[in-house]
Amino acid sequence: MAQQRRMGGQPMFVLSEDSQRTQGRDAQSSNIMAGKAVAESVRTTLGPRGMDKMLVGSSGDVVITNDGATILNEMDIEHPAAQMIVEVAESQEDEVGDGTTTASVLAGNLLGEAEDLIEQDVHATTIVEGYHEAARIALEAIDEQVSEVAVDDDILGQVAESSMTGKGTGGLTAEELGETVVETIRHVETDDGVARENVSVHTQVGASSNATELVPGIVIDEEPAHDGMPTDVEDASIALLDVELELQTGEVDAEYAIDSIDQLNAAIDAEEGELEGYAETIVDSGVDVVFTTDGVDDRVAAKLANEGVLVFENIGSSDAKNVASATGVSRVGSLDDLEEADFGHAEHVRTESYNDDELAFIEGGSAAESVTVFVRGGTKHVVDELERTIGDALDVVATALESGEVVPGAGATEIAIADKVRSEAAGIEGRKQLAITAFADAVDIIPRTLAANTGRDPIDSLVDLRAAHESEGRAGLITDSEDVTIGDPLEHGVVDPADVKREAVESATEAATMIARIDDVISAE
């Protein structure tokens, strides 16, 4: 039925008959329930003993992962409030690269606590004000937890390992991958910070994950334009062309009448001369390796192969950009403009065959701005998850290196946040105190979930963690191969970038308060 309002005694239709409207408590309850359901779907993936999810698409595609952002992105979520929780994970991923599950679970539990308060007749505006005040206190607690140790390679390695623990690392240990990640980020460290955009992760199915390596350059899916070309060039001069090395054709169709063999031979000689000119120009320039965004005639490729020039044709614009970034080469639009000043340089250009795939490795470029983690794995599912794992680790190591701030992991920082928020709540007057206390209860979901996912009783673990925090100052759930104990995460190398915790608190609070304030949902069919 159409929504209507009375005006001057006459009904006035405001919404179409196809519209649906949910108001008041029903709207709040529906939105909160949707947000909680999405958060709950990733809760079991949290922590070093978190479980994976298998996501099967409508076309049969399968994704196996425990990465929160990936799970939520792959799910077919339609409810607008639930979509806001997905956006929390996306924001966390974009800003700091990790902590997506933490942010999503926290947002869901904040909504659950808000629902309880609403049922107790606490106004949504009061809850929002209390949550924002609690978030401010939480950020102060995070600042207090920042470790005073220098963020050196050892600490960065621990950050990487903490990020990867419990995720898919194939046959490699988190420690082994952590060393590769730290070396990679150090390679792109500059005076202005970390050039994270210069790091690529290239996956290749085949061999075990133990074959994963750091390539000081770039890797592209390209093969030589001719089988007779060299596959390994040392100290290579490189040209990058936007030139078609094929016979020039006009835009207008035309026919030529040939009356004799001499005319035919002259036409063939003209073609050969044109193609010969291309090859001679390139050879005379002294270049060793050529990348071109257009095609190369087989005859030109054969002539260049005989001269020992390695050519890659029809490369994409992104690959061309990467080649330029790695080698310092300038793009040339005409062979007449080909000069040595435009050349790039690489210590080593080589091609390798992997099953049916051919890859080109450009290593030790003179510009030295790019580096690639070349990921190997026995199956596509393994390399895909390994790519996600390494990508998150690269992001958090870059974040920790730039900020120079790390905090204890394993739930210790969340215990400290909840403790400080509860202490500060006692000094707040009015019903806002209830919202602030509820925020602290919501933060407890992180250590409780970590405990549950390791098989410990979450309530007993939470009590023990609070007692240890009160007496020792730092207390988290330390998981090793045999047991789960309570101890100082910093002593056990379990550390997280402080910015990951800050972003999780801020993004989860923003989403939860936005959803809690909604009391009217109007949808058009």
- For residues 360 and 315, the answer to whether their CB atoms sit within 8 Å is no
SS3 308: coil
SS3 380: helix
Residues 6+ apart with CB under 8 A from 148: none
Residues 6+ apart with CB under 8 A from 100: 67, 68, 69, 72, 89, 92, 93
Secondary structure element (H or E) that encloses residue 110, with its range: helix 100-119
- Asked if pLDDT for residue 524 goes beyond 70, the answer is no
State the average pLDDT over residues 150-154: 86
Q: Confidence band (pLDDT; 50, 70, 90) for 525?
A: low
Does the active-site annotation cover 100? yes
- Asked if pLDDT for residue 269 goes beyond 60, the answer is no
- Asked if pLDDT for residue 214 goes beyond 90, the answer is no
Looking from the CA of 210 toward its CB, the CA atoms found within 13 Å total 2
Give, in order, the Cα–Cα distances in Å from 366 to each of 288, 343, 352.
15, 10, 22
pTM: 0.79
- For residues 424 and 436, the answer to whether their CB atoms sit within 8 Å is yes
- Burial class of residue 415 in the structure, from the number of CB atoms within 10 Å of its CB (0-12 exposed, 13-18 middle, 19+ buried): buried
Looking from the CA of 114 toward its CB, the CA atoms found within 13 Å total 35
Rounded distance between C-alpha atoms, residue 316 and residue 227, angstroms: 21
Instruction: Give pLDDT, residue 13.
Output: 46
- Asked if pLDDT for residue 129 goes beyond 50, the answer is yes
State the average pLDDT over residues 348-358: 84
Catalytic residue among 44, 45, 100, 449: 100
Say which range, 73-82, 122-131, 153-162, 426-435, has the weakest mean pLDDT. Answer: 73-82
Instruction: Provide the mean pLDDT of the chain.
Output: 80
Selected residue with higher pLDDT from 368 and 166? 166
- The strand pairing partners of 21, in sequence order, are 522
Rounded distance between C-alpha atoms, residue 406 and residue 156, angstroms: 9
Q: For 64-85, what is each residue's pLDDT tens digit?
A: 887 777 777 777 777 777 777 8
| Phi and psi, residue 355, nearest 5° | 55, -115
State the average pLDDT over residues 349-357: 83
Q: Confidence band (pLDDT; 50, 70, 90) for 481?
A: low
Instruction: Give pLDDT, residue 23.
Output: 53
- For residues 349 and 361, the answer to whether their CB atoms sit within 8 Å is yes
Neighbours of 133 (CB within 10 A): 19
Selected residue with higher pLDDT from 312 and 8? 312
Neighbours of 429 (CB within 10 A): 6
Selected residue with higher pLDDT from 273 and 242? 242
Identify the residue whose tokens are 């808000």.
Answer: 114
Maximum distance among all alpha carbons in the chain?
105
Identify the residue whose tokens are 């040939």.
Answer: 258
Query: What share of the chain in percent tops pLDDT 90?
Result: 8
Residue positions counted in the chain: 525
State the average pLDDT over residues 214-230: 87
Residues 6+ apart with CB under 8 A from 204: 354, 357, 359, 374, 375, 376, 383
User: Which ranges in 237-297 belong to alpha helices (H)?
Assistant: 261-285
Among 140-149, 181-190, 210-219, top mean pLDDT goes to: 140-149
Instruction: Give pLDDT, residue 265.
Output: 54
Angle, alpha carbons 229-230-233 (nearest 5°): 140
Selected residue with higher pLDDT from 308 and 213? 308
Does the active-site annotation cover 509? no
SS3 448: helix
- Asked if pLDDT for residue 24 goes beyond 90, the answer is no
Among candidate residues 151, 95, 164, 147, the one with its CA nearest the CA of residue 401 = 151
Q: What is the 3-state secondary structure (H, E, C) of 466-496?
A: HHHHHHHCCCEEEECCCCEEEECHHHHCCEE
Neighbours of 269 (CB within 10 A): 11
State the average pLDDT over residues 340-368: 82
Selected residue with higher pLDDT from 375 and 266? 375
Say which range, 99-113, 391-405, 407-421, 473-487, has the weakest mean pLDDT. Answer: 473-487
> CA 505: distance to chain centroid?
20
State the average pLDDT over residues 231-249: 82
Instruction: Give pLDDT, residue 454.
Output: 82
State the average pLDDT over residues 481-500: 84
Q: With left for phi above 0 and alpha for psi between -120 and 50, is residue 356 left, alpha or beta?
A: alpha
Q: For 355-385, what is each residue's pLDDT tens digit?
A: 778 888 988 766 567 788 888 877 888 888 8
Amino acid of residue 131 = Y
Does the active-site annotation cover 67? yes
Does the active-site annotation cover 392? yes
**Domains observed in the chain:** 18-147+408-524 (1.10.560.10), 217-246+256-367 (3.50.7.10)
Catalytic residue among 98, 297, 342, 392: 392
State the average pLDDT over residues 427-445: 88
- For residues 215 and 263, the answer to whether their CB atoms sit within 8 Å is no
Instruction: Give pLDDT, residue 184.
Output: 86
Catalytic residue among 44, 52, 67, 399: 67
- Asked if pLDDT for residue 14 goes beyond 60, the answer is no
- Rounded to 5, what percent of the chain is helix, strand, coil? 50, 20, 30
Q: Confidence band (pLDDT; 50, 70, 90) for 250?
A: very low
Q: Are strands 199-205 and 371-377 parallel, antiparallel or unpaired?
A: parallel
Selected residue with higher pLDDT from 264 and 282? 282
Q: Confidence band (pLDDT; 50, 70, 90) for 2?
A: very low
Instruction: Give pLDDT, residue 382.
Output: 82
Q: Confidence band (pLDDT; 50, 70, 90) for 1?
A: very low
Looking from the CA of 399 toward its CB, the CA atoms found within 13 Å total 28
Catalytic residue among 45, 65, 101, 203: 101
State the average pLDDT over residues 115-120: 85
Q: Which two tokens stand for residue 119?
A: 């049922």
- Asked if pLDDT for residue 139 goes beyond 90, the answer is yes
Amino acid of residue 443 = V
